[in-house]
């Protein structure tokens, strides 16, 4: 059934998970932009911060996991151990999970650090990550799966993870430039009411169509009221042009070295 966004009774609750641990790369901006895009459409919304000292509730509409350093990721994994059932209940009730980088790794089954320490993940999706070299750093372009209807996603990565998706589990999209999951030429994960990616930026302000796709999942809308995204689209064009040019220069250098 489609939700009428004009008569929504309660505020859409956007949960920012462990901002004290998973907030290194500005991924808080993902929560801010979701609330703002609701506000601009007249949809009541609020940002709820979920500190690592508290268990995750099952009463929110969107759960956002951000990136963090290795030590913070270890602490986050330990604190999340008792929260998988809450997130399962929330998703069963219509909530959406969006996870970036370290948060993306932690929603899987496990993460093995470069030192061989194995961290148990939330197990929300069948995938596993291992730390490896070299570190993947730089701008990334991802062509989302056609079924999403999304345009090219732009962002940047800074991680050592190599994430392998389980059988039947699909990625967010194909990597055009950059590392992404570091395996199989793809980035992220796309599952039932769950999206993950290695892209920072923050990725949702840089890609408003992706932000709106998350909101549409929660609101039950196929399409949301369009917004004036001219400034964001100008940034997207600039980033796409810059990344494409950088990739072409690197490719020419590689060909030159190979010829030598």
* Active site (annotated) includes residue 256: no
What is the residue whose two structure tokens read 């993870």? 161
Alpha-carbon dihedral of residues 124, 13, 95, 168, nearest 10 degrees?
-50
Catalytic residue among 38, 159, 200, 256: 200
Among 182, 176, 165, which Cα is nearest to 131's?
Answer: 182
SS3 91: helix
In the chain the beta strands, taken as DSSP E runs, fall at 12-17, 45-50, 62-65, 96-100, 110-112, 118-120, 127-144, 153-165, 173-177, 186-187, 189-191, 194-197
**Residue 171 corresponds to which tokens in the numbers above?**
């990625």
Distances (CA, A) of 146 to 102, 132, 150, 151, 171: 26, 30, 7, 9, 11
Strand-pair category, 189-191 with 62-65: unpaired
User: Under a CB-based contact definition with an 8 Å cutoff, are residues 156 and 138 in contact?
Assistant: yes
* Active site (annotated) includes residue 38: no
Catalytic residue among 38, 101, 159, 256: 101
Which residues are designated catalytic? 101, 200
């Amino acid at each position: 059934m489609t939700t009428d966004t004009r008569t929504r009774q309660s505020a859409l609750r956007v949960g920012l998970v462990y901002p004290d641990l998973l907030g290194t790369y500005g991924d808080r901006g993902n929560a801010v932009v979701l609330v703002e895009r609701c506000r601009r459409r007249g949809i009541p919304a609020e940002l709820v911060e979920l500190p690592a000292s508290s268990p995750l509730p099952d009463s929110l509409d969107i759960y956002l996991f951000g990136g963090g350093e290795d030590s913070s990721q270890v602490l986050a994994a330990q604190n999340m151990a008792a929260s998988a059932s809450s997130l399962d209940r929330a998703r069963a009730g219509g909530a959406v999970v969006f996870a970036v980088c370290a948060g993306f790794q932690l929603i899987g089954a496990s993460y093995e650090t470069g030192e061989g320490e194995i961290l148990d993940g939330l197990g929300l999706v069948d995938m596993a990550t291992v730390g490896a070299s070299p570190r993947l750093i730089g701008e990334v372009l991802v062509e989302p799966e056609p079924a999403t209807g999304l345009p090219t996603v732009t962002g940047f990565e800074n991680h050592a993870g190599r994430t392998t998706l389980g059988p039947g589990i699909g990625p967010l999209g194909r990597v055009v430039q950059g590392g992404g999951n570091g395996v199989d030429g793809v980035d992220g994960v796309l599952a039932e009411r769950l999206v993950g990616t290695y892209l920072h930026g923050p990725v949702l302000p840089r890609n408003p169509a992706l932000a709106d796709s998350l909101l549409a999942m929660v609101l039950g809308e196929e399409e949301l009221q369009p917004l004036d995204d001219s400034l964001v689209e100008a940034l997207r064009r600039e980033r796409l042009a810059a990344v494409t040019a950088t990739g072409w220069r690197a490719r020419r250098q590689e060909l030159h070295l190979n010829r030598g």
